[in-house]
């Protein structure tokens, strides 16, 4: 999948002029890029469009115009774009109440390694978690994790042939399964293998 280049970005003024339309398009796009896993976990599947939008929003908010600063943002965000044989996910544990969140995060240590994606009859794929920095301590897990799921050619071929996708959390304190990822989401995710 294509990575973001400086030429893909807009000036702050140009972005402000296009922002309402780009924001609406991004909201529609993101509907095909997220999967709820039980009541308190969400997988946000990242791609070129999502990362470009996030960079443009950051440029706007922080008024970034210096080329060196822009290149630093590209270096930070481009690794979150799939490489053709993987899916990259921001995994979020969502507990609105702060006391409950603290308690639950202490009970979910290691959950980031127990999420799997299965395509058809292929073996489940478990993620490589938090390559940028550790997000779990002996006392608790973080509410946000970055996951990379690597797929074989056979798995990708099965996905392209229309095999069912399922997602599962196997953590003892959070066992939930999406038995069949909706077709509009799998169609969107298939583009990550191009």
Looking at the structure, tell me whether residues 60 and 155 fall in a common domain.
no
On whether both 75 and 5 belong to a single domain, the answer is yes
Say yes or no: 15 and 75 in one domain: yes
Q: What are phi and psi of 174, to 5 degrees?
A: -155, 80
Q: What is the mean pLDDT of the chain?
A: 95
Lowest mean pLDDT among 28-37, 117-126, 135-144: 135-144
* Residue 133 in this model has a pLDDT that exceeds 90: no
3 and 75 together in one domain: yes
Q: Residue 102: beta bridge partners?
A: none
| Same domain, yes or no: 175 and 106 | yes
- C-alpha to C-alpha distance for 34 and 42, rounded to whole angstroms: 7
Q: Kindly state whether residues 60 and 147 are assigned to the same domain.
A: no
What mean pLDDT do residues 53-68 have? Answer: 95
pLDDT for residue 193: 95
DSSP 63: T
What percent of the chain stands above pLDDT 90?
94
Among the listed residues 156, 80, 82, 144, the one whose alpha carbon sits nearest the alpha carbon of residue 117: 156
Name all contacts of 93-101 with Cβ < 8 Å and 24+ positions apart.
93/40, 93/41, 93/141, 93/142, 93/143, 93/144, 94/40, 94/41, 94/42, 94/143, 95/40, 95/143, 101/143
pLDDT of residue 38: 97
Considering the domain architecture, whether residues 77 and 89 belong to the same structural domain is answered as no
154 contacts 146 by C-beta, under 8 angstroms = no
Domain holding 9, by residue range, is 1-31+48-81
State yes or no: pLDDT of 1 exceeds 80.
no
Q: Same domain for 120 and 73?
A: no
Q: How many domains does the chain have?
A: 2
- Give yes or no: residues 41 and 52 share one domain: no
- We report the CATH number of the domain holding residue 136 as 2.60.40
Express each pLDDT in 140-154 by its tens digit.
999 999 999 999 999
Q: Which residue has the higher pLDDT, 184 or 137?
A: 184
Q: Using CA atoms, how far apart are residues 3 and 61, in angstroms rounded to an integer?
A: 22
- With a cut of 90, say whether residue 86 has pLDDT above it: yes
Q: State if pTM tops 0.95.
A: no
Are residues 68 and 153 part of one domain?
no
Q: Which string of DSSP letters, residue by residue, matches 91-153?
A: EEE--SSHHHHHHHHHH-TTGGGSEEEEETTSPPBPPEE-SSS----SS---SEEEEEEE--H
Q: Tens of pLDDT along 151-177?
A: 999 999 999 999 999 999 999 999 999
Describe the strand order of the beta sheet including 144-150 as a list of residue ranges: 34-36, 41-45, 86-93, 144-150, 128-129
Given a cut of 80, is residue 67 above it in pLDDT? yes
Q: 99 and 72: one domain? A: no
Query: 55 pLDDT band (50/70/90 cuts)?
Result: very high
The verdict on 154 and 72 lying in the same domain is no
Determine the average pLDDT of the residues in 8-25. 96
What is the CB neighbour count within 10 angstroms for residue 17?
A: 12
Q: Judging by DSSP bridges, how do beta strands 144-150 and 86-93 pair with one another?
A: antiparallel
Report the pLDDT averaged over residues 85-95.
97
Q: What pLDDT sits at residue 136?
A: 81
């Amino acid at each position: 999948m294509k990575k973001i280049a400086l030429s893909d970005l807009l000036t702050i003024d140009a972005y402000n002029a296009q922002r309402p339309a780009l924001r609406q398009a991004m909201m529609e796009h993101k509907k095909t890029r997220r999967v709820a896993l039980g009541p308190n976990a969400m997988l946000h599947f990242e791609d070129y469009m999502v990362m470009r939008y996030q960079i443009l929003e950051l440029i706007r908010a922080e008024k970034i115009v210096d080329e060196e600063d822009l290149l630093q943002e590209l270096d930070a965000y481009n690794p979150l774009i799939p490489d053709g044989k993987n899916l990259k996910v921001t995994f979020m544990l969502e507990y609105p109440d702060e006391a409950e969140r603290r308690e639950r995060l202490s009970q979910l240590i290691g959950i980031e390694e127990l999420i799997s994606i299965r395509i058809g009859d292929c073996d489940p794929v478990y993620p490589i978690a938090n390559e940028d920095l550790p997000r779990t301590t002996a006392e608790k897990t973080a509410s946000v994790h970055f996951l990379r799921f690597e797929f074989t050619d056979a798995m990708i071929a099965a996905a392209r042939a229309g095999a069912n996708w399922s997602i599962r959390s196997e953590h003892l304190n959070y066992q939930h399964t999406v038995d069949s990822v909706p077709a509009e989401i799998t169609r969107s995710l298939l583009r990550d293998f191009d």
